[in-house]
Amino acid sequence: MSALIEGDRTHSRGRDGAVFHLAADSGWPQRFGLMARDLRDGASLWRLAWLLATSDIRLRYRGSVLGPLWLTLSTAVMIGAMGFIYAALFRADIRQYLPYLSVSIVIWNYLSALVNEGCNCFLTEQKLIHGARMPFSLHAARSVLRNTIVFAHNVVVIVPVFLLVGAPVTWEILWVVPALLLWLLDGFAVAMLLGALCARFRDVPPIVGALLQVVFFATPIMWYASLLDGHPLLGVLIRFNPFFHLLEVVRAPLLGGAPPAGSVLGALAASAVALALAAVGFARMRGRIAYWV
């Protein structure tokens, strides 16, 4: 018989997590308490979340020669092709437009992947959810980490573009760090909320996908926000578009400027709303997710 079984029980992991009480739903204090426990358990499993996320990427490209480099390559091809066509369409200076487009596309792909895959973060883990008690935050974190790894591969594309057109890089670029931390937090909150919602309502993922398409065209991603300057109605559209502000706080520093104060406020406000909705929504739905998936 194995030494592990026969051995002393007071092993290094201690008895943390060994005591567990679960009663029928009894209102908000209990719901928030169970959510807090879920987040705590999830945080203590960060190594597992990271291992799962990296395995996801490795498995996706197992047997492929270039592997995850395909992520980089396909983004590069897309930006290269679109850059010249749209620069001509918008009569923009390619030296300015190409860096703008490459940064916009790369961060938009990250944002839309966070939202789209966040929708499925519980549905795809149905087997794990039914197999053992596991914090739901683990699945949300896995989805966020996986897409962050993809993003890290795509960011590489920006470098040759900047070198090619000689775009300046300034110290303002450091603003990217707090901005991306905000994105990670938002991405996690959105995955917790949409993941639970989509487990219950299976029509939500395609609806979210369709809405993101609309947002893609209605937000200054391929076109400059300045094109709408002076336009009475559409100018307002931009000012109340949370996606514009969230993109801008990451994009502006990458393009050499500090993020505009208005966008910082907009991004913080949008994040506060997302976090509040996620906290209430997840606490409300948490106990039912295992029944829904």
Partner 1 sequence: MAQLAARGISVDFPLYHSETRSLRRAVLDRASGRFGADARRRPIVRALRDISFSLASGDRLGLVGSNGSGKTTLLRVLSGIYQPTAGSLAVDGSLASLLDPGQAMNPDMTGRENIRLHARFHRMAVAEIGAFEADVESFADIGAFLDLPVRNYSSGMMVRLSFAMATAARPEILLMDEWILAGDATFMDKARQRTETMVRHADILVLASHSAQVMVEWCNRLVWLEQGRVRADGEPLEVLSRYLPPQQFEQLRPKRSEQPEPIPAPLRSGTSP
- Find the Cα–Cα–Cα–Cα dihedral 236, 238, 243, 244, rounded to 10°: -140
- Give the largest CA-CA distance in the chain: 79
CA distances from 277 to 33, 128, 207, 291 (A): 17, 26, 18, 22
Q: Which is nearer to partner 1, 52 or 250 (CB)?
A: 52
**Min dist. Cβ of residue 122 to partner 1 (A):** 13
Indicate the residue among 90 and 292 with the shorter CB distance to partner 1: 292
Taking the complex as a whole, the smallest distance from the CB of residue 50 to partner 1 amounts, in Å, to 9
Residue 224 vs 292, nearer CB to partner 1: 292
The minimum distance between CB 148 and partner 1, in angstroms, equals 19
Yes or no: say if 208 and 116 are a contact pair by the CB < 8 Å rule: yes
Whole-number Å distance between alpha carbons of 60 and 46 = 21
Cβ of residue 12: shortest distance to partner 1, in angstroms?
7
Please list, in sequence order, all residues whose beta carbon lies within 8 angstroms of the beta carbon of residue 51, skipping any fewer than 6 positions away.
Answer: none
What stretch of H or E contains 151? helix 136-155
120: Cβ contacts below 8 Å, ≥ 6 apart: 143, 195, 198, 205
What DSSP element (H or E) covers 59? helix 46-60
Q: What is the closest distance, in whole angstroms, from the C-beta atom of residue 146 to partner 1 in the complex?
A: 13
Nearest CB to partner 1, comparing residues 18 and 65:
18
Q: State which residue, 176 or 196, has the beta carbon closest to partner 1.
A: 196
| DSSP secondary structure letters along 215-226 | HHHHSTTSS-GG
Nearer Cβ to partner 1 (16/240): 16
| Distance of alpha carbon 193 from alpha carbon 277, whole angstroms | 8
Q: Which amino acid is at 40?
A: R
Report, in Å, the least distance between residue 119 CB and partner 1.
Answer: 17
Q: Which is nearer to partner 1, 18 or 85 (CB)?
A: 18
Decide whether 200 or 260 has the Cβ nearer to partner 1: 200
Taking Cα atoms as reference points, which of 245, 247, 276, 277 lies closest to residue 261?
A: 245
Contacts of 38 (CB under 8 A, 6+ apart): 135, 136, 137, 286
Report the nearest approach of partner 1 to the CB of residue 201 (Å): 9
Question: To which residue do tokens 């679109």 refer?
Answer: 82
Q: How far is the CB of 11 from partner 1 (least distance, A)?
A: 7
CB contact at 8 A, 156 and 199: no
Q: Name the site residues for partner 1 (rule: CB under 8 A).
A: 1-7, 9, 11-13, 15-25, 44-45, 47-48, 51-52, 55, 59, 62, 127-134, 200, 202, 287-288, 290-292
